[in-house]
């Protein structure tokens, strides 16, 4: 338990104080504006991605580069995990070899629970099953703060598959903590009553919100046999050109990507002046730099005690 | 269209002025002789290889290292392309994350056409389907210039599967632009009448040429069901020891590799004093350095405007 | 043969003089205690792992980082080996591209024999089929020397599948050269009479040894169809809690890992105060630094002649 308190794991925004979250957002925004970093060239990090990813993995890699970190190459496909080694033993091995922090994406929800008590190096969660994706949440928040300076009093609609999204639940929670009103939209059967937010029809929801967060339709998680009707989804629950015309003049559109063009959003709107989809990707690098800095600052304090 | 003219994409030698090609060759030769580079340690490049490669990928990696570039790791097998993301969106994502140039090999001929108008960072084509392989062409030219100083008035025979080779067509074209005579040889049914070169029988062709360019038999592209008769091919169209004895005393032999030893060329001849096959690999690193320098020089001019 | 003598290949401990081995152990121990290295930032190494590995690959990567080496990325899965290129041609290609040393793990026993005469850059064997795994042997030795300063007069028991272990045979040989007594234990049918060591029952062997080397049960190499009885193996041949109570008070326990917890060793004993299993992983980095230094020192001497 001692270990758990000292090491600055980053597993979910729910585990952080509101103040800490705001501090991370502020630091990320400063870094984007060119604040200088204290490079960490003697520190090594390994990125363990047991699930596919372009954005998140490349974004962490770029953040690590900007911090001057050494990145130990680690290919999950050819690792000893294929010989039946547990994730804990793999992580302990990397710790023994001299790795100073681990960035992990894994298909098992809450995979980090047994790790954070047994490791003396920080775990940074890059996505766990249908659980959390806190670095994505942080970059979403950062994108909103870049726009408005805060989210207090703002209305955010989260549209789509709330039930299976690891982003939706943690975003809904943290946004409310930060003073925002959160509503849900999209297919009624994908709405999640347990999230403590209100459901509204798509037309009304997008017309009255300051921030429209579209969720990706995860075809790979919907395997009930029925072919997915993309056009029908787009008409009923997507951000069509018609709906776009009725959004607030200062409202912004977010999507975690990869985008299914013509499904969650019309192809031509992806780079609309009110879309922040590619800004989110740019922001992600700075959000992850702030996350990594925090992990190493705490670790450094521990060492110098 | 503005974008297209400003960004120094490198997609095919056909798209370059003869003067530009000669300048690239000269710079590559200077770099090989130890000319100093202006390192680019703050620039990031990503290598996207959607088709297998050792030589080309490693050669680009080494060239990037010599230029002090940061290489963002990118594994096509575990990227979001597996989630159905388009190549354009993957490239735009990397651009948003801060990548300054993309080296791409892709199975689709002309994959770069839609990219080069939509991206504000240069695309360097490392091979497109049965289209072009311009960095290979450049290193072939560089190897010839290293030998003769020019190709004007030289006779080059290209032997093998001209029809399916992405190297053959662009090499034939550029060599003629540079003043060389190009002929074709190998199986008559693999000759391509539309290339505008003459066909000659193997025995005559190799005996009368200054440069003998062997093409790789691409077993993976010949799937008509018949087993390939390697020995028969070697006897009829390969560079056998007997044919080698009759080549010009100053002629040189090129092959893009990987070599099928005993098929296109006799095993013992791969490292013959007149073979330049391993020199080509060494030269490839310098050719790619020149290509990358060009991409970044133009990009830098744009930025400082 | 000239080449063979000049280039400092590192293929098996059997090929090294006892003095050279002791020198490598001593250098590795010095590096662990913080001895400074002469960085090699202009040298490039490539790690070619044709078999799965976490520990060995990451350990070499970390060692290369500490030495300031440039590591050329090389993915065996997407290399031209998939197009049928021989290992020799792949290695020669990398040499032509400018790689200064190759670290290779390959499934074929003795794969390095044809390479070491044909290459002018050193090959470092990171495991060959059921042959050798000399960097593992060296880190095992280093771990023993860290404990006792030497192995002369010590008794070492090697427990498990001696017949299929690439570690067992070379360890048994080198330990005897260094003055130790080596015995074998584990399943009688997995014992190898040709190794020139004595067999003892597990209970007696562990109680009388200074060093207990457990071997991994390689499920992937035992495919005789019978399901493996893990519990039975543990009771009869594993380091159970009961057996642990009877080991010498200063004895230490080694395992090359990945550990099958509850098979070769009880789960709770992996991090027992007398276990050196994670120390071995830490030591591996320094052992490999010493190995790489040796490869480059010799190569440098050759160059400056």
pLDDT at A223: 52
Range B275-283 average pLDDT: 98
pLDDT of residue B301 exceeding 90: no
Establish whether this prediction's ipTM goes over 0.90: yes
Decide: C112 and C104 in contact? Cβ < 8 Å.
yes
Distance CA(B254)–CA(B151), nearest Å, equals: 14
Q: Which of B104, B102, B76 is nearest to A53 (CA)?
A: B76
Q: What is the 3-state secondary structure (H, E, C) of chain C?
A: CHHHHHCCCECCHHHCCHHHHHHHHHHHHHHHCCCCCCCCCCCEEEEEECCCCCHHHHHHHHHHHHCCCEEECCCHHHCHHHHCCCHHHHHHHHHHHCCCEEEEEECCCCCHHHHHHHCCCCEEEEEECCCCCHHHHHHHHHHHHHHHCCCCCCEEEEECCCCCCHHHHHHHHHHHHCCCEEEEECCHHHCCHHHCCEECCHHHHHHHCCEEEECCCCHHHCCCCCCCCHHHHHHHHCECHHHHHCCCCCCEEECCCCCCECCCECHHHCCCCCECHHHHHHHHHHHHHHHHHHHHHHHHHHHHC
- Name which of C52, C73, C260 is nearest A78 (Cβ-Cβ): C52
Q: Is A257 annotated as a binding residue?
A: yes
Q: C-chain residues within 8 Å CB-CB of B260?
A: 84
For A131-176, the pLDDT digits (tens) are 899 999 999 999 999 999 999 999 999 999 998 887 888 899 999 9
Q: Strands A123-128 and A155-159, how do they pair?
A: unpaired
Closest to A283 in 3D by CA, of A157, A175, A141, A150: A141
Location of each CATH 3.40.50.1370 domain in chain C: 2-132+282-304, 134-277
- DSSP H or E run through A143: helix A134-148
pLDDT band at C11 (very low <50, low <70, confident <90, very high): very high
Q: Which token pair is A20?
A: 């800490």
Secondary structure class of B250 (helix, strand, coil): coil
Q: Which two tokens stand for residue C31?
A: 């590096």
Any idea which of A225-229, C1-5, C39-43 has the lowest mean pLDDT?
Answer: C1-5
State how far the Cα of A89 lies from the Cα of A74, in Å rounded to an integer.
15
Between the alpha carbon of residue A261 and those of residues B85, B86, B211, C284, the distances in Å are 9, 10, 50, 49
C48 touching A (Cβ < 8 Å): no
Question: Closest partner residue to B58 among C84, C86, C97, by Cβ?
Answer: C97
Listed in sequence order, the residues at least 6 apart from A101 whose beta carbon sits closer than 8 Å to its beta carbon are A43, A45, A46, A121, A122, A123, A124, A292, A295, A296, A299
Residue contacts between A and C (CB atoms, under 8 Å): 74
Q: Which of A78, A82, A92 sits opposite C49 (nearest CB)?
A: A78
Interchain CB distance below 8 Å, A93 and C58: yes
Q: What is the CA radius of gyration of chain A?
A: 20
Over chain A, what is the mean pLDDT? Answer: 91
Q: Is the peptide bond before C258 cis (omega within 30 degrees of 0)?
A: yes
Mutate to test the interface with A, among C36, C54, C230 (most CBs of A within 10 A): C54
The pair of three-digit structure tokens given for residue C154, joined into one six-digit string: 């010590």
Enumerate residues 6+ apart whose C-beta is below 8 A from C78.
Answer: B49, B52, B53, B57, B76, B77
ω into B189 cis (within 30 of 0): no
Residues of chain C with pLDDT > 90: what percent?
78
C78, C90, C92 member nearest B49 (Cβ): C78
On whether the CB atoms of residues B257 and B281 are closer than 8 A, the answer is yes
Residue pLDDT, tens place only, B16-65: 999 999 999 999 999 999 999 988 999 999 999 998 888 999 999 999 99
Which residues of chain A form CATH 3.40.50.1370? 2-132+282-304, 134-276
Least confident interval from A67-81, B21-35, B174-188, B247-261: A67-81
Angle between helices A134-148 and A55-66 (to 10 degrees): 70
Q: Say if C40 is an interface residue toward chain B (CB within 8 Å).
A: no
**Beta strand C123-128 with C101-106: parallel, antiparallel or unpaired?**
parallel
- Return the CATH class of domain C2-132+282-304: alpha beta
User: Which phi and psi (to 5°) does residue A267 adopt?
Assistant: -50, -45
- DSSP 3-state assignment of B52? coil
Q: Is the dihedral of CA A75, A78, A81, A85 positive or negative?
A: negative
Contacts of B20 (CB under 8 A, 6+ apart): none
What are the DSSP E strand ranges found in chain A? 44-49, 70-72, 101-106, 123-128, 155-159, 181-185, 198-199, 211-214, 252-254
Report pLDDT digits (tens) over B155-190.
Answer: 999 999 998 887 888 899 999 999 999 999 999 999
Residue C216 pLDDT greater than 70, yes or no: yes
Q: What is the pLDDT of residue B136?
A: 96
Q: Is B256 on the interface with C (CB under 8 A)?
A: no
Cβ contact (<8 Å) for B58 and C77?
Answer: no
Quickly tell me which residue has 């930032």 as its tokens: C41
Asked if residues C224 and C187 have their Cβ atoms less than 8 Å apart, the reply is no
pLDDT score of C4: 40
Which helix (H) or strand (E) segment is A241 a member of?
helix A241-244
Chain C residues within 8 A of A98 when measuring between CB atoms: 62, 282, 285
- What CATH code is assigned to A134-276? 3.40.50.1370
Cα separation, B290 vs B24, whole angstroms: 6
Q: Which residue has the tokens 């975003």?
A: A171
Cβ-defined contact of A97 to C279 (cutoff 8 Å): no
CB contact under 8 A, B285 and C97: yes
Nearest to B86 by CA among B94, C72, B176: B94
In angstroms, the separation between the Cα of residue A258 and the nearest Cα of chain B is 6
Element (H, E) at B126: strand B123-128
Q: Is the distance from CB of A269 to CB of A244 less than 8 angstroms? A: yes
Does any CB of chain A come closer than 8 Å to the CB of residue C81? Answer: no
Q: Report whether B185 contacts B241 (CB < 8 A).
A: no
Three-point CA angle C131, C132, C138, nearest 5°:
165
* Yes or no, beta carbons of C89 and B259 under 8 Å apart: yes
For residue A36 the two structure tokens come to 């200088």
| B231 φ/ψ angles, rounded to the nearest 5 degrees | -65, -40
Q: Any chain A CB within 8 A of the CB of C34?
A: no
**In 3D, which of C255, C274, C153, C157 has the Cα closest to residue C205?**
C157
pLDDT band per the 50, 70, 90 thresholds, residue A77 = confident
Judged by CB atoms closer than 8 Å, whether chains meet at A72 and C58 is answered as: yes
> Contact A53/B96, CB-based, under 8 Å?
no
Domain C134-277 listed as CATH 1.10.150.300: no
* Least confident range of A165-169, A199-203, B186-190, C195-199: A165-169
Q: How near does any CA of chain C get to the CA of A92, in Å?
A: 8
Contact criterion met (CB < 8 Å) for B258 and C79? no
Local structure of A304: helix, strand or coil: helix
pLDDT for res C2: 42
Partner-chain contact C89 B59, CB within 8 Å: no
| A159 and A130 Cβ atoms separated by less than 8 Å | no
What phi and psi values does residue C36 have, to the nearest 5 degrees?
A: -80, 150
Tell me the shortest Cα–Cα distance from C289 to chain A, in angstroms. Answer: 12
Query: pLDDT band at C6, cuts 50/70/90?
Result: confident
SS3 B194: helix
């Amino acid at each position: 338990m001692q270990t758990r308190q000292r090491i600055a794991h980053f597993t979910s925004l729910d585990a952080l104080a509101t103040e800490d979250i705001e501090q991370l957002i502020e630091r990320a925004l400063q870094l984007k504006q060119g604040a200088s970093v204290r490079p960490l060239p003697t520190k090594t990090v390994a990125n363990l991605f047991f699930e596919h990813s372009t954005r998140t993995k490349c974004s962490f890699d770029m953040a690590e580069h900007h911090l001057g970190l050494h990145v130990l190459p680690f290919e999950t496909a050819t690792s000893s995990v294929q010989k039946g080694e547990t994730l804990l033993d793999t992580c302990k091995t990397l710790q023994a070899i001299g790795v100073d922090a681990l960035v992990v994406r894994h298909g098992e929800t809450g995979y980090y629970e047994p790790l954070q008590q047994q490791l003396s190096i920080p775990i940074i969660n890059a996505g766990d099953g249908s659980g959390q994706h806190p670095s994505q949440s942080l970059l979403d928040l950062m994108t909103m703060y870049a726009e408005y300076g805060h989210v207090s009093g703002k209305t955010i609609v989260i549209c789509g598959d709330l039930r299976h999204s690891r982003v939706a639940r943690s975003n809904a929670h943290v946004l409310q903590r930060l003073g925002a009103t959160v509503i849900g939209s999209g297919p009624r059967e994908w709405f999640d009553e347990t999230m403590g937010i209100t459901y509204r029809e798509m037309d009304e929801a997008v017309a009255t919100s300051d921030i429209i967060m579209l969720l990706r339709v995860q075809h790979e998680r919907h395997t009930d046999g029925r072919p997915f009707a993309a056009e029908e989804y787009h008409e009923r629950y997507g951000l069509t050109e018609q709906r776009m015309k009725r959004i607030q003049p200062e409202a912004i559109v977010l999507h975690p990507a990869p985008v299914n063009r013509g499904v969650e959003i019309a192809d031509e709107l992806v780079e609309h002046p009110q879309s922040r989809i590619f800004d989110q990707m740019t922001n992600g690098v700075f959000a992850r730099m702030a996350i990594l800095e925090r992990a190493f600052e705490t670790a450094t304090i521990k060492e110098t005690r």
